[in-house]
């Protein structure tokens, strides 16, 4: 039975190790000297944090285990929206290249409560970075919706459940609303709406009974440890929140695979 793993946005984006580059080569043609530009790839600069870099490099082993069927990888719509905010992916030397990534259901679909034709407004996070940039923020963005969920009291939750058919909620979402205190408690312990999206990802993994939520960050694993250690917490966290090296250790992998792209080497797009 493969280990089921929800892949955080950072895990997917940092599995991309190559970036486009170009170099100029002198060329002689018909007795004249000129310069020709050749396009290719090079390895991205390493992260400043050595441990963070090792976690990223471990994704080549995670990717291999997904391709071998030892890990069943998952994503879902809110994580996909987060990736839409980024740039075009480079598939060469991508640790997850060739991996099948399944889709699971969100704990609650934001689209059932927020209607808009402005796609950019809908996929916006609505956090501190967006506010600093001066981007226009309405009620459609991710963080605003999660703050609304966090603020629902039992009376409002019961009303939503009673009107589930009118709203268009399925049974999975009705059960999520009945379990909303789980999300609200972990959000409260996170102490900032900036962390609500990660809590929602974890809640989605928990609702789908996935084994692991895989992330590169330390904050969420520490938060989950805090919640688990509370004697009178009132909830349980079944999904493990692990970084790549911890996941490999849990699966009994002795050491990560070597990184297949060299530092300071130019890879011709048509020759390597």
pLDDT given at position 43: 94
pLDDT given at position 130: 59
pLDDT given at position 251: 95
pLDDT given at position 90: 78
pLDDT in tens, the chain (272 residues): 899 999 999 999 999 999 999 888 777 776 777 788 888 999 999 999 999 999 999 999 999 999 999 999 999 999 998 887 666 677 889 999 999 999 999 999 998 988 766 777 676 776 667 566 665 566 778 888 999 999 999 999 999 999 999 999 999 999 999 999 999 999 999 989 999 999 999 999 999 999 999 999 999 999 999 898 887 777 889 999 999 999 999 999 988 999 999 998 999 876 65
Question: Is the CB of residue 252 less than 8 Å from the CB of residue 61?
Answer: no
pLDDT given at position 32: 77
pLDDT given at position 271: 62
Q: What is the pLDDT of residues 209-249, one digit of tens each?
A: 999 999 999 999 999 998 988 877 778 899 999 999 999 99
Cβ neighbours for 60, distance < 8 A, ≥ 6 positions apart: 95, 256, 257, 258, 259, 260
pLDDT given at position 230: 84
pLDDT given at position 56: 96
pLDDT given at position 117: 63
Say how many Å lie between the first and final Cα of the chain, rounded: 37
Could you state, in order of their start, the residue ranges of all structural domains in the chain? Answer: 1-27+38-104+209-272, 108-207
Nearest residue to 80 (alpha-carbon basis) of 55, 57, 106, 100: 106
Q: What is the pLDDT of residues 153-183, one digit of tens each?
A: 999 999 999 999 999 999 999 999 999 999 9
pLDDT given at position 269: 75
SS3 144: helix
């Amino acid at each position: 039975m493969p280990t089921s793993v929800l892949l955080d946005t950072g895990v997917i984006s940092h599995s991309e190790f190559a970036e486009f580059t170009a170099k100029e080569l002198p060329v002689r043609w018909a007795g004249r000297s000129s310069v020709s530009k050749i396009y290719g790839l090079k390895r991205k600069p390493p992260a400043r944090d050595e441990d963070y870099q090792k976690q990223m490099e471990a994704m080549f082993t995670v990717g291999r285990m997904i391709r071998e069927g030892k890990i069943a990888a998952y994503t879902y719509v809110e994580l996909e929206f987060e990736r839409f905010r980024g740039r075009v992916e480079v598939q060469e030397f991508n640790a997850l290249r060739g991996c099948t990534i399944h889709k699971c259901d969100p704990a609650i679909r934001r689209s059932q409560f927020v209607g808009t034709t402005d796609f950019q407004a809908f996929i916006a996070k609505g956090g501190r970075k967006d506010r600093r940039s001066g981007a226009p923020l309405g009620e459609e963005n991710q963080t605003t919706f999660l703050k609304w969920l966090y603020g629902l009291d039992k009376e409002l939750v019961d009303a939503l459940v009673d009107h589930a058919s009118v709203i268009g909620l399925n049974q999975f979402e009705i059960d999520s609303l009945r379990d909303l205190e789980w999300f609200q408690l972990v959000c409260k312990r996170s102490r900032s709406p900036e962390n609500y999206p990660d809590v929602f990802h974890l809640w989605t993994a928990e609702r789908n009974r996935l084994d692991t939520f895989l992330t590169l960050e330390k904050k969420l694993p520490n938060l989950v440890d805090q919640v688990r250690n509370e004697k009178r917490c009132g909830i349980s966290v079944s999904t493990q929140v692990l970084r790549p090296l911890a996941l490999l250790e849990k699966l009994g992998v002795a050491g990560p695979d070597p990184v297949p792209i060299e530092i300071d080497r130019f890879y011709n797009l048509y020759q390597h």
